[in-house]
Amino acid sequence: MEAAAPSREEIERGEILRRYRALLRAVKPFMKKGDKKQLRLAFDMALDAHKDMRRKSGEPYIYHPLEVARIVVEEIGLGTTSVVCALLHDVVEDTEITLEQIEKEFGNVVARIIDGLTKISGLYNKSTNTSDQAENFRKMLLTLADDVRVILIKLADRLHNMRTLDSMPKDKQLKIASETSFLFAPLAHRLGLYAVKSELEDLSLKYTDPEIYKDIARRLQETKLKRDRFIRDFIVPIRKEMEALGLPFEIKGRPKSINSIYNKMRKQGVEFDEVYDLFAIRIILESPAETEKSDCWRAYSIVTDMYQPNPNRLRDWVSTPKANGYESLHTTVMGAGGRWVEVQIRTKRMDEIAEKGLAAHWKYKESGNDNAFDAWLTRIREVLENPEPNALEFIDNFKLQLYAKDVFAFTPKGDLIKLAAGATALDFAFEIHTDIGMKCIGAKVNHKIVPLSYPLQNGDQVEILTSSIQKPKSDWLKFVTTAKAKSKIKQAIKDYRREMADTGRDIFEKKMKQWKTQITEELMNKILSQFKLQSPVDLHYLIATERIDLAQLKAFVLEPNKAAESRASSRIDEKNFGNLVRSNSSAADDLLIIDDKISKIDYTLASCCNPIPGDEIFGFVTISEGIKIHRVNCPNAVHLLSKYSYRVVKSKWTQASEVSFLAGIRITGLDDIGIISGISQVISTDLKVNMRSISVLSNDGMFEGTIMVFVNDTKHLDTLMRKLLQVKGVLKVTRFDSHPD
Ligand code: MN
């Protein structure tokens, strides 16, 4: 008889059981009589309740509670009750099982914890608004911290969700990752769960800033061999002396978390190569409780005998532990090649507390001592309790010094953006996306229009207004704070300047040919001195941006010696010259938006009616695209003017400009062979108008063409239309409003 291949169900069942047994092995050291039965009961209930559910990755749902339970015991150090709760943490929320059933099977404590976990999920899924979110978070901490295991299991749940975030859709990834760095990582820190905190931060960064994350991870990988060698050499003499001490010990060299390296780079404004403490050496002593403190100091003395310590960098959390229970002795010493190395000295007990939080602490007290655990819960509650009535301030205080240098703001959709304190609306725009930063014309913070230089406050909701014609400006550099925004702006200005200078050089060379003059070094120097310029690039740039009068240049080039006396007459707007890109956006200066308060805000031209200078226009404040300029006779105008009059901004053109605007023309006529060439003759040759597109329909001897052209203003357009009407065969020429796209 042939054995059938195992089905997917059978394979999965085997895997589920394998994972369950691994969990049992991990809980074993904590198990008391009767615990095994409880665990089996919880596992069976969860398995059955989730049997038809799958995770986004396609795996059986039960993998998730099993994994959360494993984290709870192995990485946080909690016992059986918490493992039972972790196994059941999603059943009340996601399945038919009720809290009453849980209470009947597992008793009051488990039911209370599950209830807490269910309530937290509820808070999360419903809250969208910043202050709601903060207020809910505060409530969650204060009311649900009745049993701090609720929060610890929630952290394990979040950790597993972060580890498996890859299978979530992109927008969810960002939301969950932001929330993690905003709320859960500081929470883990506050509870002393350093390992969990670092991993949560690294995983958040992986999704909120994938480029930076990958870059640092790659560089860490690349420098690993070199670093390992350095650590090995550094340790050798210490190891020798420590062995002579006769105390069992372990020395590890551990790289710092990607997030903490990134924070260093940001805070100190340095590159990866310049971060000196990429790793810390950790000496872990196996020391009996009575001599812990003196043993740590003995190790300290060995280290500082070998290497010169930096007296400013000694931290003694052995004598006075941190509020969250952290105990360790830190010193920074000078290693080979003048490199500072951080050395952390602690005992095994201290190390476990540092990694897993205070929960681990109780393993070292008499086991089964409920009073001790209760005392711990009380202490955590005290830490979390805060009389501050304002939820946002509570969050700020809560985040301790760890995040004091950050500012948290939200997108209109509620996604969280973390920036360094002092960051402005423009930084925010660049943080969302480089393109959004480049096209940024203003922002609305908490629904009010603010300038780009507005410094963000915690909890601000920021909506970025953009315009397709916007270009980065050099004065932006005065009010962006992030390195990312700065370098992108500088690069864009440089690129633009180089591009314009190239164009300008072509124009200059052509003109010089026309003027029948050789470009000699001598002449160029005279020109530069005449116009007070530093280099030919400056000259080319000014020519291309039309900020130098060509007639004047011509006069000078033809008679340089004569003109030299009238130097004062050359007119270059020197003040504006520093502002290299402003001239390109001169369209903005040509539009006068009458309301003074927002006259600095840029605009976009509505594509439904393609307004051009000369048209009667009005501005309309849109929700997400800044101010849109419509023609008064735009088909949408009546609706907008009547329904949203409060969002209408009176606008008018100030003067004809050199900038071109898109307009549509419809031509009907007799389908004559010559008609198209006649039309293009007028457009391209006679009037030198740029055409963006032309499409032609022929029908029973009739011709209908739609043309999109770039014109300066209505006068320009009228001339063009008049000329087109004169083309043989053309019967009618009209302007049309709608974009053909
Ligand atoms: Mn879950």
Distance CA 542, CA 583 (A): 10
SS3 state of residue 652: strand
Rounded to the nearest angstrom, the distance between the alpha carbon of 659 and the centre of ligand 1 is 57
Residue 740: predicted pLDDT: 39
The Cβ-side half-sphere exposure at 688, using a 13 Å CA radius, reads 0
Distance of CA 362 to the CA centre of its chain: 39
Distance CA 485, CA 432 (A): 11
Q: How far is CA 451 from CA 456, 465, 476, 490, 652, in A?
A: 11, 10, 11, 20, 22
Catalytic residue among 12, 15, 74, 93: 93
- φ and ψ at 325, to 5 degrees? 100, -5
- 64 closest CA partner among 75, 53, 77, 74: 53
pLDDT tens track for 360-409? 554 444 344 444 445 544 544 554 444 333 333 344 444 332 334 567 77
User: What is the DSSP pairing of strand 617-621 with strand 730-736?
Assistant: unpaired
SS3 state of residue 467: coil
Rounded to the nearest angstrom, the distance between the alpha carbon of 164 and the centre of ligand 1 is 11
Rounded to the nearest angstrom, the distance between the alpha carbon of 157 and the centre of ligand 1 is 5
CA geometry: angle at 446 spanning 440 and 448, to 5°? Answer: 65
Structure tokens that stand for 102 in this block: 């849980």
Rounded to the nearest angstrom, the distance between the alpha carbon of 46 and the centre of ligand 1 is 12
Mean pLDDT (whole number) for 160-178: 88
Rounded to the nearest angstrom, the distance between the alpha carbon of 412 and the centre of ligand 1 is 27
In which residue are the tokens 């946002």 written? 392
Structure tokens that stand for 217 in this block: 């991870």
Please state, as a whole number, how many other Cβ atoms lie within 10 Å of the Cβ of residue 627: 26
Rounded to the nearest angstrom, the distance between the alpha carbon of 36 and the centre of ligand 1 is 23
Distance CA 689, CA 710 (A): 6
Rounded to the nearest angstrom, the distance between the alpha carbon of 117 and the centre of ligand 1 is 9
In which residue are the tokens 């004569």 written? 562
Rounded to the nearest angstrom, the distance between the alpha carbon of 377 and the centre of ligand 1 is 23
Residue 370: predicted pLDDT: 44
User: Has residue 714 got a pLDDT over 80?
Assistant: yes
Give me the chain's average pLDDT, please.
77
Rounded to the nearest angstrom, the distance between the alpha carbon of 89 and the centre of ligand 1 is 6
- φ and ψ at 737, to 5 degrees? -90, -40
One DSSP character per residue, 338-384 reads G-EEEEEEEEHHHHHHHHH-HHHHGGGS-TT-HHHHHHHHHHHHHHH
Angular region, 446: left φ>0, alpha ψ -120 to 50, beta rest: left
Mean pLDDT (whole number) for 458-470: 80
Distance CA 221, CA 618 (A): 57
Distance CA 612, CA 653 (A): 9
Catalytic residue among 15, 59, 74, 94: 94
Query: Sheet harboring 249-255: ordered strands across?
Result: 249-255, 279-285, 340-347, 329-334, 315-316
Distance CA 136, CA 166 (A): 27
Residue 640: predicted pLDDT: 74
546 given a catalytic annotation: no
Residue 341: predicted pLDDT: 87
Strand ranges (DSSP E) for 585-635?
591-593, 603-605, 617-621, 627-631
The Cβ-side half-sphere exposure at 542, using a 13 Å CA radius, reads 22
Cβ(235)–Cβ(251) below 8 Å: yes
Residue 413 is classified by DSSP as: T
Distance CA 665, CA 696 (A): 12
Distance CA 229, CA 542 (A): 56
In the chain, what percentage of residues exceed pLDDT 90?
17
Structure tokens that stand for 428 in this block: 């925010």
Cβ(479)–Cβ(506) below 8 Å: no
Rounded to the nearest angstrom, the distance between the alpha carbon of 415 and the centre of ligand 1 is 21
In which residue are the tokens 């810390």 written? 280
Residue 204: predicted pLDDT: 92
Distance CA 214, CA 246 (A): 43
Rounded to the nearest angstrom, the distance between the alpha carbon of 64 and the centre of ligand 1 is 7
pLDDT tens track for 242-283? 898 888 999 988 888 899 888 888 877 778 877 777 788 999
pLDDT tens track for 61-81? 999 999 999 999 888 888 888
Confidence of residue 572 (pLDDT cuts 50, 70, 90): very low
- φ and ψ at 156, to 5 degrees? -65, -40
User: What is the DSSP pairing of strand 448-450 with strand 591-593?
Assistant: unpaired
Rounded to the nearest angstrom, the distance between the alpha carbon of 65 and the centre of ligand 1 is 7
Mean pLDDT (whole number) for 30-57: 89
- 429 closest CA partner among 396, 406, 453, 458: 453
Rounded to the nearest angstrom, the distance between the alpha carbon of 351 and the centre of ligand 1 is 29
Rounded to the nearest angstrom, the distance between the alpha carbon of 344 and the centre of ligand 1 is 35
Q: What is the dihedral of CA 628, 634, 638, 643, to 10 degrees?
A: -20
In which residue are the tokens 């020519």 written? 543
- 218 closest CA partner among 268, 263, 258, 260: 258
pLDDT tens track for 605-618? 787 777 777 778 88
Distance CA 723, CA 332 (A): 81
- 644 closest CA partner among 615, 621, 669: 621
Rounded to the nearest angstrom, the distance between the alpha carbon of 120 and the centre of ligand 1 is 11
Cβ(498)–Cβ(485) below 8 Å: no
Structure tokens that stand for 335 in this block: 């290693």
Confidence of residue 198 (pLDDT cuts 50, 70, 90): very high
- Residue type present at position 577: F
Residue 646: predicted pLDDT: 65
Mean pLDDT (whole number) for 20-24: 94
105 given a catalytic annotation: no
Structure tokens that stand for 222 in this block: 């690349």
DSSP-assigned beta bridge partners for residue 334: 340
Residue 625: predicted pLDDT: 67
Confidence of residue 623 (pLDDT cuts 50, 70, 90): low
User: Has residue 174 got a pLDDT over 60?
Assistant: yes
Rounded to the nearest angstrom, the distance between the alpha carbon of 69 and the centre of ligand 1 is 10
Q: What is the dihedral of CA 650, 469, 416, 622, to 10 degrees?
A: 30
In which residue are the tokens 């955590």 written? 380
Q: Which of 320-329, 577-586, 732-741 has the lowest mean pLDDT?
A: 577-586
User: Has residue 728 got a pLDDT over 70?
Assistant: yes
One DSSP character per residue, 138-184 reads HHHHHHHTTSTHHHHHHHHHHHHHHHTGGGS-HHHHHHHHHHIIIII
Rounded to the nearest angstrom, the distance between the alpha carbon of 352 and the centre of ligand 1 is 26
- 619 closest CA partner among 591, 597, 643: 591
Rounded to the nearest angstrom, the distance between the alpha carbon of 30 and the centre of ligand 1 is 23
Rounded to the nearest angstrom, the distance between the alpha carbon of 104 and the centre of ligand 1 is 22
Cβ(701)–Cβ(670) below 8 Å: yes
Rounded to the nearest angstrom, the distance between the alpha carbon of 63 and the centre of ligand 1 is 10
Strand ranges (DSSP E) for 268-336?
279-285, 315-316, 329-334
Distance CA 384, CA 377 (A): 11
Cβ(144)–Cβ(120) below 8 Å: yes
Helix (H) or strand (E) holding 32: none
Residue 737: predicted pLDDT: 67
Distance CA 651, CA 658 (A): 19
Structure tokens that stand for 635 in this block: 């088909």
One DSSP character per residue, 92-104 reads HHHSS--HHHHHH
Cβ(591)–Cβ(406) below 8 Å: no
Rounded to the nearest angstrom, the distance between the alpha carbon of 528 and the centre of ligand 1 is 70
DSSP-assigned beta bridge partners for residue 455: 424
Distance CA 483, CA 385 (A): 37
Distance CA 559, CA 555 (A): 6
pTM of the complete model: 0.50
End-to-end CA separation in angstroms for the chain = 68
- Residue type present at position 554: K
Q: What is the dihedral of CA 170, 176, 181, 184, to 10 degrees?
A: -160
